[in-house]
Amino acid sequence: MALIDPTDVSNFIEATVTAASILGGVMAYWSGYLTANALASGQPPEIVAQRLNEGIGRGFSWGGPLSAVVLIIGAWS
């Protein structure tokens, strides 16, 4: 029977939380950035909502690979 070291599990959970935080932060940044630009230029609410959704998508496409790399590095170390 293989024994699991509790510190390994703790390190993996810590790396997973860090990766999720990075993904959420990048998504929040891009959605806020594009929404603020739309609001600053006086766009109607429909366009502002579309920019918010586009920002979430852009943040996911940038943050997904970045958070995967952070998860790999965190789990490996």
Cβ 48 vs Cβ 35: under 8 Å: yes
How confident is the model over 29-74, as pLDDT tens digits? Answer: 999 999 999 999 999 999 999 999 999 999 999 999 999 999 999 8
- Hey, where are the domains in the chain? 26-76
pTM of the model: 0.84
Cβ 38 vs Cβ 48: under 8 Å: yes
* 54 backbone φψ class: left, alpha, beta (φ>0; ψ -120 to 50): alpha
Structure tokens of 75?
A: 């789990």
